Structure 1
Amino acid sequence: MKAALRMLSVILATAYSGGIILWLVLRVILPDSRLWCLAVANTFAEYLFLPLVPIILAAWMARSRWALATTAVPLAVFLWMFGPLFLPRLPPPRVEGRPLIIMTFNVWGFNRNAQAIASVIRQVDPDIVLLQEFRGWVVTDLAEELGDAYPYHDLPDAYLTKGSLGIFSRYPIVSAQRLLLPDVWRPILYTILEVDGQRIHVFNLHLISSSRVFRWGSSPRYIERTYERRELAATRLQKFIATLEGPIIVAGDLNTTPQTTTYRILTTDLKDAFYTVGWGFGHTYPARSRRIRRTLIPARLLRIDHILYSSHFEAVRAYVGPWDGISDHLPVVAELRLNQEVSP
């Protein structure tokens, strides 16, 4: 019996470690859009390591040195990818002045409760609020709720029904435009803000979703196509950003998790505030558990809402904000401080 357990632990550990190594190799040589199963694996990357604990326990019970040594590979990969998110965060150096507080929030296209949205915003008290996916009548009500605290804003036409982007700001908006880049599914809200004499480029975006991945029957081609469109959008935006000078913030519902190709493209020249100074996995979607075709989707499954920033900033703090009780997303908040060497 003991020999059989030892053999089983060796087989499981070897097969599992081999699978993790294969996944790593595929991540290097292929984009998500080329292989649907790779795309799904990258999206749910942290869950690939759930078998690690029982396999290590089985190897320990079997007293198999080979099995224990083999599990060192996936353990090292997990610590490399996710370990920094669970390290104690050192307090930032004390610097004069208040950091710039940014909040991004997909409020959900069927959310009619402007008061609930405004309540969350007031709790966080950000300087810049970037909103995605809200209906026309909420735009009007929210402008009334927040107008005194945020005198500067650029909001969608109140008659649009769904899927629009908006910004509320305590700082003057120098310019605002709906930027439509080639191969990008939705326009990007591109604003330039003047913050204490410094102009800052702010991009609010909502990339195409692969939500049907949660539904049985989604075709592999559909999955690959949605990932391809996000990768194209990220590439176009990254090239556009490369032409700009000055501080840059990119935030919104990116519908992409940190191990995907799209995320790697966007973070070529930008840093992720939550990964840098946040703690934990920081999952933002879905805000609450839900059932799809009798399948229970647990709450806080993925981190798909992000705040990215250029090297002109230093991240001070980042966290998942409070829920409004209605939206299917949780907001993300980041506190950024302009580096002292940045000149207006």
Structure 2
Amino acid sequence: MEGEPLVRRSMGIGIAALLPWVWFVLRDRLGVVTDVAAIVLPLLVVVVAVVVGIVGVLGRRRWAAVAFAVSTLLVGIVATFGPWIPHGTGTVDPGRTVRFAAANIGVGEIEGADSLLALKADVLVVSEIGEPLTDRLAEAYPNHVADWTGPSVGIFSRWPLTVVEKPGPDLPGYVLRVHAPSGEFDVIAAHVPRPWWTSGGSTYNQSTDDGQPYQTTVAEHHRLIEQLAARAARDDRPVVVAGDLNTTDRGRDYRVLTKHLDDAMLDSWGRPSQIGKWAALLVRIDHLFVKPGWCSDGTNWYPIPKSDHHGLISTIGPCA
């Protein structure tokens, strides 16, 4: 490398430094390839940076390798933490607020009941729910619907509910109309099957479990998210989309949703919603979206006993 002209050497280092940033150009164009990469991105960039750095130090193009490795780490930081930057949706009309909460209850179903009831939410969406928790929450929420064998999601409301659409092949959850005193709004409450491997196999629908080591494919997950986004887009009422969507906020599917919806949790800083064995992936997969025209205030994340998810809560409603 010592015999190379300075200009050529500098160009090589510059190209190496710029190359990782192509991620932001290609991430929505390579389909399932970048969908998978987005899920494991924090770990992927560390592995790539370390391997390239070691190879570069041992080889001739040392500075180009160092530039590529450092730039790769920076791309990982921007891609991971960029979607957590608060931007807010505006201020909620104080006379038309809805305290809205969502949670994936995990294995601690009954143990988490007190935490959910203490939120005193007007509307509550619970993923991975079963009959015992449904019965417990029903004591405080007379208006509720729940599915225990398909998407395993329950919706509880202080106000009357109308079921617009039940769970089906294109909807891992419910579309509901909430008849609130301040005006009707629709809720798309979903528990989208996760597009990665699990030792338990396909748990989304036990009646059709085919024994595959994943809940759904990446392509099918993308299709389901597109279906949710399409429902929200064509609804002529205010719409709230909530639940464990198993969709990382640095992935293509998140951007499919935010084409039509605002992220209500970005009234404050975002954070990973999944903890436990998946904590290293730094994924925010539990979401609360509102259709433009609605805003959010007082967002927060809360722990749930024995769950590998943090719950989320926010005051939402028509913008002031």
Q: TM-score, normalised by structure 1?
A: 0.69
Q: Residue type of the partner of 1:190?
A: V
Counterpart CA distance in 1 for 2:233 and 2:132 is: 37
Q: Residue type of the partner of 2:276?
A: R
1:30 is matched with 30
- Alignment equivalent of 2:290, drawn from 295, 304, 309: 309
Question: Is 2:268 the counterpart of 1:278?
Answer: yes
Q: For each residue in 1:221-271, what CA deviation from the matched residue of structure 2 results, as whole angstroms up to 9, or x when unmatched?
A: 988961111111122222233321110001111111012222121221011
Counterpart CA distance in 1 for 2:215 and 2:129 is: 27
1:335 is matched with 315
Going from structure 1 to structure 2, the CA distance change for 1:260 and 1:299 (only over 3 Å counts) comes to: closer
SS at match of 1:228: helix
Counterpart CA distance in 1 for 2:167 and 2:89 is: 37
The 8 Å contact of residues 103 and 126 in structure 1, kept in 2 or not, is answered as yes
SS at match of 2:237: coil
- Which structure 1 segments of 5+ residues have no match? 1-9, 55-63, 216-220, 290-296
Counterpart CA distance in 2 for 1:93 and 1:197 is: 16
2:152 is matched with 164
Q: For each residue in 1:145-188, what CA deviation from the matched residue of structure 2 results, as whole angstroms up to 9, or x when unmatched?
A: xx2xx2321233xxx557422111112213454142xx53x642
The 8 Å contact of residues 49 and 78 in structure 1, kept in 2 or not, is answered as no
1:267 is matched with 258
Q: Residue type of the partner of 1:100?
A: V
Q: Report the Cα offset of residue 53 of structure 1.
A: 10
Q: Residue type of the partner of 1:29?
A: R
Going from structure 1 to structure 2, the CA distance change for 1:248 and 1:92 (only over 3 Å counts) comes to: closer
Q: Residue type of the partner of 2:95?
A: G
SS at match of 1:134: coil
Q: Residue type of the partner of 2:257?
A: L
Q: Residue type of the partner of 1:125?
A: K
Tell me which moved more, 299-308 or 221-230: 221-230
Tell me which moved more, 313-322 or 253-262: 313-322
SS at match of 1:212: coil
- Which structure 2 segments of 5+ residues have no match? 1-10, 51-62, 201-211
Q: Residue type of the partner of 2:319?
A: N
- Alignment equivalent of 1:238, drawn from 229, 232, 238: 229
Residues 93-172 of structure 1: matches in 2 within 5 Å? 96-97=94-95, 99-108=97-106, 110-111=107-108, 113-114=109-110, 116-144=111-139, 147=140, 150-156=141-147, 160=148, 163-172=151-160
The 8 Å contact of residues 113 and 133 in structure 2, kept in 1 or not, is answered as no
Counterpart CA distance in 1 for 2:162 and 2:232 is: 18
The 8 Å contact of residues 143 and 156 in structure 2, kept in 1 or not, is answered as yes
After superposition, the CA RMSD in angstroms is 4.1
Counterpart CA distance in 1 for 2:317 and 2:304 is: 25
Residues 148-297 of structure 1: matches in 2 within 5 Å? 150-156=141-147, 160=148, 163-180=151-168, 184=170, 187-212=172-197, 226-274=217-265, 276-280=266-270, 282-285=271-274, 287-289=275-277, 297=278
Bigger relative contact order, structure 1 or 2, given CA contacts below 8 A and separation 6+? 2
1:39 is matched with 35
1:293 is matched with none
Q: TM-score, normalised by structure 2?
A: 0.74
SS at match of 2:217: helix
Tell me which moved more, 191-200 or 222-231: 222-231
Q: Residue type of the partner of 1:310?
A: K
SS at match of 2:276: coil
Counterpart CA distance in 2 for 1:306 and 1:82 is: 16
The 8 Å contact of residues 210 and 226 in structure 1, kept in 2 or not, is answered as yes
1:7 is matched with none
Going from structure 1 to structure 2, the CA distance change for 1:167 and 1:12 (only over 3 Å counts) comes to: farther
Structure 1 vs Structure 2: percent identity of aligned residues? 23
Q: Report the Cα offset of residue 272 of structure 1.
A: 1.2
Going from structure 1 to structure 2, the CA distance change for 1:257 and 1:70 (only over 3 Å counts) comes to: closer
SS at match of 1:41: helix
Q: Residue type of the partner of 1:277?
A: D
Q: Report the Cα offset of residue 42 of structure 1.
A: 1.1
Going from structure 1 to structure 2, the CA distance change for 1:154 and 1:75 (only over 3 Å counts) comes to: same
Counterpart CA distance in 2 for 1:191 and 1:229 is: 23
Going from structure 1 to structure 2, the CA distance change for 1:128 and 1:300 (only over 3 Å counts) comes to: farther
SS at match of 1:234: helix
Going from structure 1 to structure 2, the CA distance change for 1:82 and 1:214 (only over 3 Å counts) comes to: farther
